Amino acid sequence: MKETVVSGIRSTGKLHLGNYYGALSNFVKMQDEYNCFFFIADLHSLTTHPTPGDLSRTVREVVVEYLAAGINPETSTIYVQSDVPEVAELYLYLNMNAYLGELERATAFKDKVRSNPDNVNAGLLTYPVLMASDILLHHGTKVPVGKDQEQHLEMTRTFANRFNRLYNVEYFQEAMAFSYSNKLVKIPGLDGNGKMGKSNGDASCVYLSDAPEVIRKKVMRAVSDSGPTEMNQPKPEAIQNLFDLMKVVSTADTLSHFEDLYNNCAIRYGDFKKQLAEDMILATEPVRSRINDITNDDEYLKKVVRLGAEKASESARKTIQEVREIIGIKRLF
Ligand code: TYM
C-alpha cells in the first residue's frame, strides 16, 4: 500500500516562492508515489480574522495555484479544510491532551505573540493541535513542509503518541516532515532578513502570479550593500539571501559564476540582480501561465473541490468513527 502524504497551505493570499519551494513543488513531485491529501487550510487562517469576502477569494486563489503548479486532482485529493468538518471534532479530542506549557513554548506561537500582542487568541495557541488533526485525520506519515513547520510536526508526533498511550492503542502513526533534499527548506525574502513571508510585506515576496515586470522591479529593489572590499569575504545576510535565492532558481553554473565574481570583488549587483530576476521569471513561468488559464474556469474548480471534499470526507469519517470508539463515545440507545 502507498504511504499517505498530508499537507496544506493557509488561505491568506497569493502563494510566494517560499510556499512553492518549501511545500508546493514537493506536493507535485510526491503525487505519483504516494496517496496524497493536499488541502487549503482556511480554518487555520481564521486566527487573523479575514473578512468573509477575503476568505472565500483567497481559498479560491490557493485552489487555482495548486492546480496551476501541477497537482492532479484525479490522483491526489485536493480539498478545502472546512469542507471536512470531522477535522474540528478530532481537534476537540486532541485538545484534551495538549498542554498549555508545550503550546506556549512553540516558536511560531511565541513569534506571533511578539509581533501581534493584541491578538493572542486561543485558536493561535492551539494552532498546532488543529494541524495535528489535519494530518492524523488521514493517517499521514509524510508531510511536505518548509523549515518553519518542523516543530509543529514534532508536536503532532507528541499528540499522536500521547493519544495512543492514554487509550492503550497503537492507532496513530508518527508523521515526519518531508523534503526531497535532506534538509527542510527556508526561502529567504528580498528585504534583507528572515524568511520570505507575507507578514514581511509584499516587497519581500515574489508571488507565483507576479508579472515579469513586477518580479524585475522587486528584485532590483532587494536589499544589498556597497559590495565586497576583500577577497573571499563572508557575505552579509542580505547578500547571502540573494545567493540562496539564486541557488534555488538558477543553474549551478550561473551560481558559481556570481560566487566567483563576489569572491574576487568583481561583482556588479545590478547584473547579479538582473540575472536573478530573469531566472525567477523563468522558474515561475509555467505556473503563472496556467494560473491565468484556470482562474476563471468555475466549472472546473467546482468539480475539483467537490471531488476532493468527497474523497477527503470518506477517509475522515472512517477515522472519526474509530476514534470515537477508542475514546468510548457512543450512542447510549
Ligand atoms: P503556511 O500557509 O504558513 O505555509 C504553507 C507552506 O509553505 C511553507 N513556507 C515556506 N517554506 C520555505 N521558506 C519559506 N519562506 C516559507 N514560507 C512558507 C511552510 O513551511 C508550509 O509548508 N501551518 C501550515 C499549514 C498547515 C499544514 C497542516 C501543513 C495547516 N495544517 C497540516 C502541513 C500539515 C503553514 O505554515 O501554512
**pLDDT tens, 90-122?**
999 999 999 999 999 999 999 999 999 999 999
Would you say 195 is a known binding-site residue? yes
In this structure, the answer to whether residues 287 and 314 fall within a common structural domain is: no
pLDDT at 304 exceeding the cut of 90: yes
CA–centroid distance, 8 to ligand 1, in Å, is 7
pLDDT at 47 exceeding the cut of 90: yes
Q: Which of 5, 6, 9, 48 to mutate to test the pocket of ligand 1 (most atoms within 8 A of CB)?
A: 9
**pLDDT tens, 228-261?**
999 999 999 999 999 999 999 999 999 999 999 9
In this structure, the answer to whether residues 22 and 170 fall within a common structural domain is: yes
In this structure, the answer to whether residues 305 and 275 fall within a common structural domain is: no
- CB distance 133 to ligand 1 below 6 Å: no
**pLDDT tens, 132-179?**
999 999 999 999 999 999 999 999 999 999 999 999 999 999 999 999
**Cα(206)–Cα(208) distance, rounded to whole angstroms?**
7
Give the structural domain span for 266. 198-292
pLDDT at 322 exceeding the cut of 90: yes
CATH code, domain carrying 264? 1.10.240.10
Q: Quick one: what percent of the chain has pLDDT higher than 70?
A: 100
pLDDT at 54 exceeding the cut of 90: yes
**What's the total number of domains in the chain?**
2
100 in a structural domain: yes
In this structure, the answer to whether residues 20 and 141 fall within a common structural domain is: yes
148 in a structural domain: yes
For residue 181, what pLDDT band results from cuts at 50, 70 and 90? confident
Q: In terms of Cα–Cα distance, which of 327, 325, 323, 328 is closest to 132?
A: 323
In this structure, the answer to whether residues 114 and 202 fall within a common structural domain is: no
In this structure, the answer to whether residues 52 and 132 fall within a common structural domain is: yes
In this structure, the answer to whether residues 207 and 164 fall within a common structural domain is: no
Would you say 295 is a known binding-site residue? no
The residue assigned the cell 512553492 is 20
In this structure, the answer to whether residues 15 and 105 fall within a common structural domain is: yes
In this structure, the answer to whether residues 136 and 22 fall within a common structural domain is: yes
In this structure, the answer to whether residues 29 and 148 fall within a common structural domain is: yes
168 in a structural domain: yes
**Cα(241)–Cα(195) distance, rounded to whole angstroms?**
9
pLDDT of residue 264: 97
In this structure, the answer to whether residues 245 and 313 fall within a common structural domain is: no
In this structure, the answer to whether residues 207 and 160 fall within a common structural domain is: no
Known catalytic residue at 198: yes
Burial of 56 (0-12, 13-18, 19+ CB in 10 A): middle
Please tell me the pTM assigned to this model: 0.97
